Structure 1
Amino acid sequence: MNFDLTEEQGMVRDTFARFLDENSSTVRVRKAMETGGFDQELWSGLAELGAFAMRVPEHAGGMGLGVFDAALLMEEAGRTLVSGPLAEALVATRLLAQLGGAEELLEQAIGGEAVVSIAMHDLAAKPVQWIAGGAVAQAVVGRKGNDVVLVTIPESARKAEENLATTPIAEIDLGALETRVLGSGAAATFEAAIEEWKLYMSIGLSGIGREALRLASVYANERKAFGQLIGTFQGISHPLADLLCDIDGAKFLAWKAIHDMSEGSEEAAPCISLAYWYACDAAARSVAQGLHTFGGYGLSVEYDIHLFNLRAKAWPLVMGDPQLVLEEAGRRLYAGEKPALPDVGEVPIDFDLGDEARAVCAELAELFSKVPEETKAKFHYSWEGYVPEVHKMLAEHNLLFPGLPEHISGRNITPYARIAAMGELERQGYNTPGAGVASMVAMMIDKYGSDELKQEVLPKIIGGDVLCSLGYSEPSCGSDVFAAQCKATQLEDGSWRIDGTKMWTSGANLASYVLMLTRTNSNVPKHKGLTMFIVPLKTDGVTVQAVHTFQDERTNITFYDGVTIPDSWRLGEIDGGVKTMSAALELEHGGGFSKAIKGMIEAAEEVCEEMGILGETRTQCRLARTYAHLWVSDMLAYRSQWASVEKKPNHGYGPMAKMYSSEVFLSDSRDLLDLTAPLSLSKRPGAVALLNQCYRHAAGTTIYGGTSEVHRSMVAERGLGLPRTRG
């Protein structure tokens, strides 16, 4: 797996970034707006750096670089609001080189002496069109029926007019101008060019959105209201955190499309459409929230944020309503529409987990193929899906805890293979939290436990003979585990007496031990007076009471009345519980709920087919939108996993992955329940029951493992540099 650029690509990006910082500053952007939104000096400078030659083949005088390389330029162009039709020019110069017959114009375009743009729609059906850069373009490449044509634009036809973002667009009657055929029957070549343009626009919009969020965050770190920095208010920071997930997701959706094309994946074409539609929406919402963060000052033309607001809407709309591209994605997913796609060139990014990962997954698949169907029928996403014989089978093959080091798990599985193994277990439906919690407890005992715990408890966990539960939350604390009041008092003989209540001790009815966070000192700050213990659940003084949820799962409230345990069952130092808890972070891989979302989509497709609505546009659009959310969830999780394995800086990638996927799982489960109503009301066995259950399951995913609000605060702080929003 790789999210890094090559050294050469890093140099290309940095070179353009430095140039654009100096030559496409907001001062320069404003100056260009005074003369119609085009900066000739900037355009010439981009040409000198080879911008317009990037996608031109070497045999035609270009650099022969790939789509990904040009996308790096477009991200910087979006960040700096480039004054000119850059995405269109990148596509147009490549078309001129591919088709030939206009060598002099191509040379002028590469050199920045001429501006060449593209017409988005078939000239035969729509001769009058809005053209990006039409007010300054000498020529336009377009499609007319099955031919690709070059339209010469005389100065008299370049009629600039006031527009939304003061860009050099113009409505031109192309049918009334001099036209010549560049490529007879070359419609597919032009179609592929439009797909490439969608990707460039997606990436450019992500750059606009990212910069708008950065500007808003900087302002929120400076502006005070009611005596506090406004960035400390969750009403400010949380929407920005949500949008950071969205805008990063927009970029990564385009990355996925580029990667899919390089791999020849069937997902490439619908992913291009979804990347474009998603970026249009995410960028528009990001710049709007960015402007809102400035309050009334955001409306003032003296503040730059309004420039991003206008450009984010203006750049893509030259093509028309982005919602039509969502419909296009639906057709590509469900109606067999297959467009021509561009040759993308070399792509450095990779989401493959490797040969070892495939081998481990194959081994797991083989094991589960031998599990009887009546046993598989017991599988469930909750603790109640725990099946002792399956748990034991995995332990015997050293595959129960792939996230643990070899000296604990009995097997050396490299990090990417561990990620794949956990994904395969989920794909098989055996994703009970029991194994995950047992894995966490095993690691903590190995790191902080006494010899007695390592000899008496650890082998039982590793052998798959017992489960462990977590005793963190309490009825009055919720996500604030540091406010725990369940008391541990040390007795004269050194043992400990535990009294109190724990809430949401899921699996306590199945487990033998609970990992418990207790209050051992009330005279110090709350996070310093905590100690952790392993507590046997099948002992005097412990009461386990069921709490049933509407999600078809059971959790528990547990009561501890004078429970006595020896000091040897303590983990870590007295009052050092926070440090001890940190060991659990080593198991974080930044996952989410993609597998559950994928299963939900497949169930919805089956139900829609049964209802006879799968061919309807509304159905295809809503399923396509859910696929966009699924793929963004995947990409955010991949980035988090990659960053964790490769020891990259932590910018809140794990919380982003978890929070985003849980929130879209919740919203999409509602929407797909609506889409398939009234059949979705039923719990009939099969796809309908699963769809019904997904709606109920999704509600919990935004709560357990840390609520979305907790994760939003973490994203705001780590990803956007906003001040801490909680005590």
Structure 2
Amino acid sequence: MNFDLTDDQEMMRDMFARFLDEHSSMARVREAAPSGFDPALWSGLAELGALSIRVPEDAGGLGLGLFDAAILMEEAGRTLASGPLAETLVTARLLAQLGGDAGATLLAQVVSGEVVASLAFHDAAVEPAQWIGGGQVAQAIIARMGDEIVLISVPDTARIAEENLASTPMAEIDLLAHPRVTLASGADALATFAAGVEEWKLLIAAGLAGVGREALKLAAAYACERKQFDQYIGQFQAISHPLADLLCDMDGGKFLVWKAIRDLADGVSEAGATISMAAWWNSDAAGRAVAQALHTFGGYGLTTEYDIFLFNLRAKAWPLVLGDPQAMIAEAGRRLYGGEAAALPDAGAMPVDFDLGEDARAITQEIEAFFAANVTPEMRETFHYSWEGYNPELNRKLAEQNLLYLGLPKDVGGRGLSAYEKTAAMDAFEVQGYNNPAAGVTQMVALIIHRFGTDELKEAILPQIMRGEVICSLGYSEPGSGSDVFAAQCRATQESDGSWRIDGTKMFTSGANLSTYVLMLCRTNMEVAKHKGLTMFIVPLKADGVTIQPVYTFQDERTNITFYDGVRIPDSWRLGEIDGGVRTMSASLELEHGGGFAKYQRAMLHAAETLCRERSHKGKPLIEDAGAQARLARTAANLWVSELIAFRANWASMEKKPNLAYGPMAKMFSSEKFQSDARDLLDLTAPLSLSKRKGAAAEINMFYRHAQGATIYGGTSEVHRSMIAERALGLPRTRA
């Protein structure tokens, strides 16, 4: 897996970034209005080779890949470059591919910046008058006309400036009213032109990723300097949390562009759908990002004194030249579920790679073989996504094959899988329908015991854990503290003989009815800051004074409230220093590599696809309905972005990269999309989805109920949004 650019691409990006920072400053962008075209900027880009990036070397260009062009477009978006860059990149390539000798002279003029050329998106024989990106300054336009690809010469008198939303150089051109020559005709020529339009979608999507992310950066900076009610406004969660949400959306949109290019390079069948998704996603996400960014500035954002309004207008103007972006998600639906084919551009070299690797495939195969050999149909009937799916016999068998504690380091006795292997393994378990939250919690407890436990404690508990004979629960949350574990009030008082007495209540002690031990965070000092007065213990759940009371959820899941009344444990069962519980707890973080809910999202999508094939709609399977296809495609987009954001977190962990809240982003984004898509797919497949009928209907029903806890367990979305705002956007702390 790789999220890094090559050294050459880093140099290229830095070169374009420096140039655009100087020559496409906001002052220059303002000066370019109302035409929206900066001739000096254009000439400078040409001198740097920007306009020839996608022109093959044998035609005099740089011959670089689509990813290189996307890097340029992201920088152009970040700086609101004044000119039809995406249109020109595509047109220059089309001239090289279709222009022949007749187009060679014009191609040289285009890549040198002497002439601006653009393209028309729709068949001129059907729609003669079209809005053209850069039409005010384009002397030549490539268009489809029936079964021909034509080059249209547009005189100065036909390029009429017209006020428009963002002062871009667009214009409406009557394509049949001007001289034209045929460049090529036939199926191959039409496919080449259509592939050029697909390339434009990706380039605009990349540009929008730059626009949206820079707008969020400006908003975050403003929120760190503007005070209201004697506080920086960035401290208000109403300001910081929407920005955190949108940062996930914008990063996800960039990664969708990358996935589309990766899919093209690999010849993946869904590549065409991914292009449509990326164009739709970034049009929508950038529009929301710039609106929220402007809102952060309050009334000042409405004035022309601040630059944020420029981003707001540009984010909407760039993609709308093609038409309604919602058509793109409908197109993605047809391509995924309706068999619609698309002519696709050549990707060229693509260094970014989302492959989990051979070791990940090996562990997947090992798990498949284990289940085939060891799991009976009767066992499968007991599988459940919660702790209630715990099977002691299967737990021991998994331990025997070293398949139980996959993320636990080898020095503790676990498998020590990499983040990539662990991701693949969790997906493989999901394919089998088996979830084992008990193993995840128990391996965390084992790690803490190994790192901080006394020899007596290690000898008493670790062998049982590693043989798969016992499981452990977590005693963090309390009735009055929830995600704020540092507010724990459950008391541990040291007696004169050195032993400890524990009194208090823990809430949501999932698995306590099945576990042998609980890892407990207790208050041991009331005289210091709350996070400094905590100590960690291991408590036997069968000890005198422990009461376990069930708490049932509508998710078909049991959790527990546990009561501790004078429970006695020896000091040897303390973990770490007295009042050092926070440090002890942090040891478990090394097991976290930025997971999420993608595996559930994938299973839910497959169940919905099955139901849409089974359910009739107007005499046909529902999956043939255009609206259903679009909604399934939207769920697929959310799934892919969830995966990509989680992959980024895994990669950053593996490669020791700076981790700007990548794990919280993965958890928060995927849990929110899991929940919203669960609602939508339940609606889409109703009324069949209301049934718990065995099969896809029961699965959709179950996923809806399961998703309700996704934004709560493991830290609420609000907690993770604060982490993202602080660590990724540099906003001030939103918690006291």
TM-score bin (small chain): over 0.9
For the 8 Å contact 2:407–2:416, the answer to whether it is kept is no
For the 8 Å contact 2:419–2:593, the answer to whether it is kept is no
Deviations along 1:586-609, whole A, 9 cap, x unmatched?
011111111111111111111122
Aligned to 2:203: 200
Aligned to 2:696: 687
One-letter code aligned to 1:388: P
Secondary structure in structure 1 of the residue aligned to 2:316: helix
Among residues 326, 337, 340, which one is paired with 1:323 in the alignment?
Answer: 326
Aligned to 1:144: 145
Among residues 224, 232, 235, which one is paired with 2:235 in the alignment?
Answer: 232
1:6 aligns with 2:25: no
RMSD between superposed Cα atoms in Å: 0.9
Aligned to 1:569: 573
1:92 aligns with 2:91: yes
Q: CA–CA distance in 2 between the matches of 1:436 and 1:392? A: 15
One-letter code aligned to 2:258: W
Secondary structure in structure 2 of the residue aligned to 1:457: helix
CA change 1:409–1:149 in 2 (3 A) is: farther
| Cα deviation, residue 410, structure 1 | 4.9
For the 8 Å contact 1:195–1:341, the answer to whether it is kept is yes
Q: CA–CA distance in 1 between the matches of 2:70 and 2:541? A: 57
Aligned to 2:259: 256
One-letter code aligned to 1:582: S
For the 8 Å contact 1:145–1:187, the answer to whether it is kept is no
1:510 aligns with 2:511: no
Instruction: Out of 151-160 and 417-426, give the one that drifted further.
Output: 417-426
Deviations along 1:503-538, whole A, 9 cap, x unmatched?
000000000000000000000000000000010001
Secondary structure in structure 2 of the residue aligned to 1:265: coil
Among residues 333, 337, 349, which one is paired with 1:334 in the alignment?
Answer: 337
Secondary structure in structure 1 of the residue aligned to 2:623: coil
| Cα deviation, residue 407, structure 1 | 2.0
Secondary structure in structure 1 of the residue aligned to 2:506: strand
Q: CA–CA distance in 1 between the matches of 2:514 and 2:146? A: 68
One-letter code aligned to 1:233: F
Among residues 209, 213, 224, which one is paired with 1:210 in the alignment?
Answer: 213
Secondary structure in structure 2 of the residue aligned to 1:523: coil
Instruction: Out of 411-420 and 52-61, give the one that drifted further.
Output: 411-420
Aligned to 1:607: 611
1:48 aligns with 2:50: no
Q: CA–CA distance in 1 between the matches of 2:414 and 2:155? A: 75
1:30 aligns with 2:30: yes
Q: CA–CA distance in 2 between the matches of 1:416 and 1:685? A: 33
Secondary structure in structure 2 of the residue aligned to 1:561: strand
TM-score by length of 1: 0.99
TM-score by length of 2: 0.98
1:419 aligns with 2:420: no
Deviations along 1:257-302, whole A, 9 cap, x unmatched?
1101111111211111011001000000000000000000000011
Aligned to 2:67: 68
For the 8 Å contact 1:530–1:574, the answer to whether it is kept is yes
For the 8 Å contact 2:407–2:415, the answer to whether it is kept is no
For the 8 Å contact 2:513–2:560, the answer to whether it is kept is yes
For the 8 Å contact 1:716–1:722, the answer to whether it is kept is yes
Among residues 322, 347, 351, which one is paired with 1:348 in the alignment?
Answer: 351
Q: CA–CA distance in 2 between the matches of 1:211 and 1:329? A: 27
For the 8 Å contact 2:406–2:414, the answer to whether it is kept is no
| Cα deviation, residue 176, structure 1 | 1.1
Secondary structure in structure 2 of the residue aligned to 1:151: strand
Aligned to 2:395: 391
Q: CA–CA distance in 2 between the matches of 1:56 and 1:18? A: 23
Q: CA–CA distance in 1 between the matches of 2:6 and 2:158? A: 44
Aligned to 1:279: 282
Deviations along 1:613-669, whole A, 9 cap, x unmatched?
111111111111111101110100000111111111121110011000000111111
Q: How does 1:624-703 map to 2 (within 5 A)?
A: 624-703=633-712
Q: How does 1:137-176 map to 2 (within 5 A)?
A: 137-176=138-177
CA change 1:172–1:256 in 2 (3 A) is: same
One-letter code aligned to 1:672: L
Secondary structure in structure 2 of the residue aligned to 1:4: coil
CA change 1:693–1:412 in 2 (3 A) is: closer
Among residues 243, 247, 250, which one is paired with 1:244 in the alignment?
Answer: 247
One-letter code aligned to 1:264: G
Secondary structure in structure 2 of the residue aligned to 1:404: coil
Aligned-pair identity (%): 67
Aligned to 1:132: 133
Aligned to 1:367: 370
| Cα deviation, residue 412, structure 1 | 5.0
One-letter code aligned to 2:148: D
Q: CA–CA distance in 2 between the matches of 1:477 and 1:515? A: 17
One-letter code aligned to 1:621: A
| Cα deviation, residue 29, structure 1 | 0.2
Q: CA–CA distance in 2 between the matches of 1:449 and 1:89? A: 65
Q: CA–CA distance in 1 between the matches of 2:584 and 2:297? A: 42
Aligned to 2:619: none
1:537 aligns with 2:541: yes
Q: CA–CA distance in 2 between the matches of 1:652 and 1:630? A: 20
Deviations along 1:119-149, whole A, 9 cap, x unmatched?
0111111111000000000101111122211
Structure 2: segments with no counterpart, 5+ residues: 617-621
Q: CA–CA distance in 1 between the matches of 2:591 and 2:417? A: 14
One-letter code aligned to 1:32: A
| Cα deviation, residue 427, structure 1 | 2.7
| Cα deviation, residue 459, structure 1 | 1.1
Secondary structure in structure 2 of the residue aligned to 1:435: helix
One-letter code aligned to 1:283: A
| Cα deviation, residue 15, structure 1 | 0.4
| Cα deviation, residue 418, structure 1 | 2.8
Q: CA–CA distance in 2 between the matches of 1:184 and 1:538? A: 81
Q: CA–CA distance in 2 between the matches of 1:410 and 1:524? A: 37
One-letter code aligned to 1:718: R
For the 8 Å contact 1:419–1:589, the answer to whether it is kept is no
Secondary structure in structure 2 of the residue aligned to 1:150: strand
Q: CA–CA distance in 2 between the matches of 1:272 and 1:339? A: 10
CA change 1:668–1:108 in 2 (3 A) is: same
Secondary structure in structure 1 of the residue aligned to 2:77: helix
Deviations along 1:307-339, whole A, 9 cap, x unmatched?
000000000100001111111111001110110
| Cα deviation, residue 463, structure 1 | 1.1
Aligned to 2:438: 434
One-letter code aligned to 2:468: G
One-letter code aligned to 1:715: I
Secondary structure in structure 2 of the residue aligned to 1:605: helix
1:713 aligns with 2:722: yes
For the 8 Å contact 2:407–2:414, the answer to whether it is kept is no
| Cα deviation, residue 88, structure 1 | 0.5
Deviations along 1:183-213, whole A, 9 cap, x unmatched?
1110000111111111101110010000100
For the 8 Å contact 1:151–1:177, the answer to whether it is kept is yes
| Cα deviation, residue 66, structure 1 | 0.1
Q: CA–CA distance in 1 between the matches of 2:587 and 2:593? A: 13
Secondary structure in structure 2 of the residue aligned to 1:668: helix
For the 8 Å contact 1:604–1:676, the answer to whether it is kept is yes
For the 8 Å contact 2:520–2:538, the answer to whether it is kept is yes
Q: CA–CA distance in 2 between the matches of 1:671 and 1:411? A: 39
